[in-house]
Chain A
Amino acid sequence: MGNKTKRMLLPLATGAVLAMVLSACGGGTGGGGGGGAASENLDGRGPITYVQGKDNSNVVRPLVDKWNAAHPDEKVTFKEQSDNADQQHDDLVKNFQAKNVDYDVASVDVIWTAEFAAKGWLQPLKDTMEVSTKGMLPATVQTGTYKDVLYTLPQTSDGGMLYYRKDLVPTPPKTWDEMMGMCSIAKEKGIDCYAGQFAQYEGLTVNVSEAINSQGGSIVDKDGKATVNSPEAKAGLQSLVDGFKDGNIPKQAQTYQEEQGRQSFEAGKLMFLRNWPYVYNLAKTDGSSTVKDTFGIAPLPGKDGPGASTLGGHNMGVSVYSKHKATAKDFLAFMTSEETQKFFATQGSLAPVLESLYDDADLVAKLPYLPVLKTSILNAVPRPVTPFYPAVTQAIQQNSFAALQGTKTVDQALTDMEAAFNTTVSK
């Protein structure tokens, strides 16, 4: 027996030692890092890689080809990720952590900038790395800014709009109260009045932020401190809770993501819908759409005027570990140029970040919703800019969903939300 144990021990010990060595190698994942890396390779030129989620409408490849033809010594390789945002996020985190020099330029969702910047993974776009943001919509530039420093450059934008039935309401509501007042029309017709995205997922954060921001409240302040327990924020969440209570927002909207609401609207079962611009083309062209000629679009209704939309879209950032940052900087400028944005808008229906393009006659002819979207984005408020975004959005979703379901009072939900933010940030 003793003999047997001894024999077993040797390989076991070998394995254990090996494991220790390996874990020591992999252990250095923590720490802000990047402090030194941010000042290196600033004038490096050479081939780089651009990382982005799946290029569904095939707009990135032609641009990369165009760049490569003009810059034979500084070719860009396009690395395509999956089309799931969470997976894109996790892939970026993994490669930044590994200090991968091959992830030179990355497409960054507007809600990730603060997190990546605070981790020290993004090259500050200042001094020699400065790229002009002239003419860009201010709210989009705000999404790329953390602690007053620009880390990511806005590339495409997105904002919420109100889809309404022209045949039932000739003039769209300007304020939330006006809209709720119009719900009697929907009731007469036997259809639902208003819906957004109220299932418990990221869309709920978007909708709740819009309600709170539209009433003049906010979720976190400039320093990332919770400001959610205010009378304005309360009024915002209360407006949604009351909507459900009165039946103006149908109960099933608590299971709606973007698509369910769109289907209900296209089937003629919904009078007002808050959704993204992508719905416009589908509602106009879908074979199953019954509202092709009878729907219109308007800015989101707010307290006294247009509401505060939440911003979507993507920015571009440069990794601090890149070896060819000068090339990366030029590529950033190329990918956000007026010409490129026009191409994105016409070929991929991606909303531009340059204000002037929203009044471009050619573009408006192609994308008739641009003027409305401009109002939406001009009034937009970015989602909470905080490095703890994943925890913050969880706290918003869970507590506001409980309030919408009526299992928690609005006061309690906001108190819990604030407490949850505070424990997150101080951890």
Chain B
Amino acid sequence: MSANVDPQAKPETAVRKPDGGKGGSKEVGMDRKEKTQGRLAALLIVPTLVVLAIVILYPVINAIIMSLEHDEGLDPVTGTFVAGGFAGISNYTHWLFQQCTGPGGETVSCPPGTLGAQFWSSTGVTFFFTVVTVFFETLLGFWMAVIMARAFKGRSILRAAVLVPWAIPTAVTAKLWFFIFAFDGIANTLFNTSILWTGSEGPARAAIIIADVWKTTPFMALLILAGLQMIPADIYEAAKVDGASTWQRFRLITLPLVKPALMVAILFRTLDALRMYDLPAIMTGGANGTTTLSILVVNQIRIGFNSAAALSTITFIIIFIVAFIFVRFLGANAVETASGGARGKNK
């Protein structure tokens, strides 16, 4: 939102400056001009805001409204579904406190096998996947970026090759790894093991992490590479002249200067990983402790829209909080970097 307001504010100050020393009678005229300009600016951004309202605000508000109603219930006499009516926040407490309605209408804790019983475990699984995959992707991505940043023969081929996993659609990737990790698959044949990769919790999670890291490390590498290439070569030369070691150059020049790009890359990947759906959905179907929040939402949509709306609102808030923490406390600023934040820092 703030990105849209900025251009409106800037012409305002630009107009005011030359007008600062002018006489009083003219100021009234300029004020009117300023006003019309401001109005024009507001008018010009209305289409953007309307589009944003339709594609972002409307679904969010609608989801929240839906989440305040009960799922349709079955009329035991006619056997047809009837509207559930106003639910207050009970859909939210259903997920957060794992409360279900028992056969007699009383509140019971959700029994195993219901989706309600899986909320906290799915949240845990989602964060587990996020932390582990982003950690490995950052590490490997940085390493790949440093290699790709060097000038050597065949660099463009390497860069293109690295992109291949990222270019394959995730669903296809997932199916590939599904076959690789099958009991008679390549992984077991190659290492001469008989691990049930998708048959128990540890291996299933490991399989998904491996597939995800394979797929998204190139994305990380490219974003970091972009950051690396913005560092002027003469800084390194100057450091060399001053006698800085390789490690010192990396720690004192590369790391701080690449940090804005790195933080944005980590932010993007974290938000992406928190929404992870296709890999576990195809590789394990959510079995063996690999149900992420997104899988839970999709499963719930088939059962009841209103509880699903509450769950997606909760998921939205969780991701929003994580993004907020990143931007506010860790200094990841996607907007600033995009409009030349690194240049600003060099000043």
Q: How many residues of A contact B (CB 8 A)?
A: 62
Stretch at the interface among B50-58, B145-153, B213-221, B233-241: B50-58
Check B72–A30 contact: CB distance below 8 A: yes
User: Given the complex of chains A and B, what is the CA–CA distance between A8 and B8 in angstroms?
Assistant: 10
Does any Cβ of A come within 8 Å of B80's Cβ? Answer: yes
What residues of chain B lie closer than 8 Å to A423, measured between beta carbons?
A: 100-103, 108, 110-111, 114, 116
Given A19-B57, A32-B80, A388-B303, A8-B196 contact (CB < 8 Å): no
Residues of A within 8 A of B303 (CB): 388, 390-391, 394, 424
Decide: A424 and B114 in contact? CB cutoff 8 A.
yes
Q: In whole angstroms, how far apart are the Cα atoms of A89 and B299 in the complex?
A: 13
Is residue A77 within 8 Å, beta carbon to beta carbon, of the partner chain? no
Q: Are A31 and B50 in contact (CB under 8 A)?
A: no
- Asked if B302 and A390 sit within 8 Å, CB to CB, the answer is yes
A4 at interface by CB-CB < 8 Å? yes
Taking the complex as formed, is B46 at the interface, i.e. its CB lies under 8 A from any CB of chain A?
yes
Question: Which chain A residues lie closer than 8 Å to B50 at the CB level?
Answer: 11, 14-15, 18
Chain A contact surface mostly: helix
Instruction: Determine whether the beta carbon of A8 is less than 8 Å from that of B57.
Output: no
Q: Are B61 and A395 in contact (CB under 8 A)?
A: no
Q: How far does the Cβ of A180 sit from chain B's closest Cβ, in whole Å?
A: 22
Measured CB to CB, the closest approach of chain A to B45, in angstroms, equals: 6
Q: How far is the CA of A243 from the CA of B243 in the complex (A)?
A: 71
Is B74 a contact partner of A22 (Cβ separation < 8 A)?
A: no
Contact with B along A258-298 (1 / 0, CB 8 A): 00100110000000000000000000000000000000000
A147, CB-defined interface residue at 8 Å: yes
- Interface check A12, CB cutoff 8 A: yes
Whether, in the assembled complex, B162 has its beta carbon less than 8 Å from a beta carbon of chain A, the answer is: no
Indicate the member of A29, A90, A117 with the most B CB atoms within 10 Å. A29
Q: Assess whether B88 is interfacial by the CB under 8 Å rule.
A: no
Q: Is B57 in contact with A15, judged by CB distance below 8 angstroms?
A: yes
For the complex formed, measure the closest distance between the CB of B245 and the CB atoms of chain A, giving whole angstroms.
51
Interface presence of B9 (CB below 8 A): yes
Interface residue stretch chosen among A60-68, A131-139, A247-255, A367-375: A247-255
Query: Which stretch from A167-175, A321-329, A398-406 is at the chain B interface?
Result: A398-406
* A14 and B46 within 8 A (CB): yes
Contact A4-B53, Cβ < 8 Å, known A23-B58, A23-B65: no
CA distance A243 to B269 in the complex (A): 44
A10 adjacent to chain B (CB < 8 Å): yes
- Write out the residue numbers on chain A whose beta carbons fall within 8 Å of the beta carbon of B65: 23, 27
Question: Residues of B contacting A391 with CB < 8 Å?
Answer: 114-115, 303
Stretch at the interface among A158-166, A230-238, A414-422: A414-422
Within A1-50, which residues are at the interface with B (CB < 8 Å)? 4, 7-8, 10-12, 14-16, 18-20, 22-23, 26-27, 29-32
Residue of B nearest to A269 (CB): B184
The segment from B197-205, B246-254, B255-263 that touches chain A is B197-205
Residue B268 CB within 8 A of the other chain: no
A32's contact among B82, B111, B284, B301, by CB below 8 Å, is which?
B82
User: B111 near A419 (CB under 8 angstroms)?
Assistant: yes
- B-side interface size class: 35 or more
Q: Mark A371-397, 1 if CB is under 8 A from B, else 0.
A: 000000000000000011011001110
Residue pair B62, A23 in contact (C-beta under 8 Å): yes
Contact partner of A427 (CB less than 8 A), chosen from B5, B58, B73, B104, is: B73
Decide yes or no whether A301 CB sits under 8 A from chain B.
no
- Are A255 and B80 neighbours in the complex by a CB distance under 8 Å? no
Does the CB pair A398–B113 fall under 8 Å?
yes
Cβ of B81 and Cβ of A427 under 8 Å apart? no
Q: Which residue of B lies closest to A18 (CB)?
A: B53
In the complex, how many angstroms separate the beta carbon of B58 from the nearest chain A beta carbon? 4
| CB pair A427 B100 closer than 8 Å | yes
Query: Known interface pairs A11-B49, A391-B303. Does A422 touch B103 (Cβ–Cβ under 8 Å)?
Result: yes
Beta-carbon contact of B54 and A19 below 8 Å = yes
Interface residues of B in 1-59 (CB under 8 A from A): 5, 8-9, 38-39, 42, 45-46, 49-50, 52-54, 57-58
Inside 8 A of A119's CB, which chain B residues have their CB?
72, 80-81
Q: B304 within 8 Å of A by Cβ?
A: yes
Q: Is A186 positioned at the interface, with any CB of B under 8 Å from its CB? A: no
A11-B79 Cα distance, complex, nearest whole Å: 47
Kindly supply a per-residue 1/0 record for chain B positions 74-113, scoring 1 wherever the CB is within 8 Å of any chain A CB and 0 otherwise.
1100011111100000000000000011111100101111
Interface residues of B in 170-194 (CB under 8 A from A): 182-184, 194
Choose among A19, A29, A199, A417 the residue that contacts B61 (Cβ–Cβ < 8 A): A19
Other A-B pairs beyond A118-B80, A264-B184, 19, CB < 8 Å: A7-B42, A11-B49, A15-B50, A19-B57, A19-B58, A22-B58, A27-B65, A31-B72, A32-B75, A118-B79, A199-B199, A254-B199, A255-B197, A387-B79, A390-B303, A416-B113, A422-B103, A424-B114, A426-B103
Q: List 14 A-B contacts (CB under 8 A).
A: A14-B46, A16-B53, A18-B58, A20-B61, A22-B62, A30-B83, A146-B79, A147-B79, A199-B287, A200-B286, A254-B199, A255-B198, A388-B74, A427-B100
Which 3 pairs across A and B sit closest by C-beta, in order of nearness? A15-B53, A200-B287, A419-B111
